Amino acid sequence: MEEMKDGQKTRINILIVEDEPLIAEDLAMILRNEGYRIAGIAHDGSQALDILSKGEVDLALLDIALSPSMSGFDIAEIINSGYQIPFLFITSFSDQTTLEKAKSLLPEGYITKPFKKKDVLANIEIISYRASTKNIAPLLSINELNDRLSSPLSKIEYDVLITLTKGLTNEQIAHAKHVSINTIKTHLKNIYVKLKVQSRTQAMQKVFRI
């Protein structure tokens, strides 16, 4: 992410994941006209992961309904566990089941189609501003963290550790992961042992790229 001078907005690299090419290009044009950079356009999950792997994405716009093999929800889970960048959903779905699933993944926003230009830009403006005002070191990926540990974290343990950095309580984490509080407590106990720490604060310090 690059800070603009003279009070201009932060320039961020945005990934667009949308299986309808016309909609994807429309989004890209709107964003480019506002000075944002397009890190890439992906029409399916595989393309999205290829672009994410380059490490040049600051924000992802995710359609939910992609190919049967990988949905926007699947990509969101991968982002949460391995990339730790903000994302928002842009989708035609607004039913309660979809909303509940979306909420559990902690997106920065949720926009329904047909979207309005002002809604997209307002959401991105807020996300961009929030990111520019945070003085937080980037987080280590699961592979980077495990390279430092004698006993590696599992994917779910890493995922729980990351949710700690977002300030969630055990109850909130359990709700988001659709498991019991006792399950979360067990994961935390294992995390503390593997990280050789005794508190949430110490655990979170281990995952920051300092």
- Nearest 5°: the CA angle 147, 83, 173 is 95
Per-residue pLDDT of the chain (210 residues; tens, 9 = 90+): 544 443 444 568 999 999 999 999 999 999 999 989 999 999 999 999 999 988 788 899 999 988 778 999 999 988 887 777 899 999 999 899 999 999 999 898 999 999 999 999 999 988 877 766 654 457 788 998 999 999 999 999 998 998 888 777 888 788 877 889 999 999 999 999 999 999 888 898 888 865
**Considering the domain boundaries, does residue 57 fall inside one?**
yes
- State the DSSP code for 187: H
Mark whether 75 and 110 lie in a shared domain.
yes
Q: With beta carbons less than 8 A apart as the criterion, state whether 120 and 30 touch.
A: yes
For residue 182, the domain's CATH number is 1.10.10.10
The number of domains in the chain is: 2
Could you give the angle at which helices 45-52 and 72-82 cross, rounded to 10 degrees? 20
**Considering the domain boundaries, does residue 6 fall inside one?**
no
Mark whether 112 and 159 lie in a shared domain.
no
Mark whether 65 and 111 lie in a shared domain.
yes
Could you give the angle at which helices 200-207 and 155-164 cross, rounded to 10 degrees? 110
Q: How far apart, in whole angstroms, are the C-alpha atoms of residue 207 and residue 138?
A: 9
Mark whether 148 and 120 lie in a shared domain.
no
Q: How far apart, in whole angstroms, are the C-alpha atoms of residue 158 and residue 189?
A: 13
Distant-in-sequence, close-in-space partners of 35: CB < 8 Å, separation ≥ 6: 4, 8, 9, 11
Q: How far apart, in whole angstroms, are the C-alpha atoms of residue 64 and residue 75?
A: 9
Mark whether 104 and 153 lie in a shared domain.
no
Q: 68 is in which domain, residue-wise?
A: 13-133
Could you give the angle at which helices 181-195 and 155-164 cross, rounded to 10 degrees? 90
Q: How far apart, in whole angstroms, are the C-alpha atoms of residue 207 and residue 162?
A: 8
Mark whether 178 and 129 lie in a shared domain.
no
Instruction: Give phi and psi for 87, each to the nearest 5.
Output: -145, 155
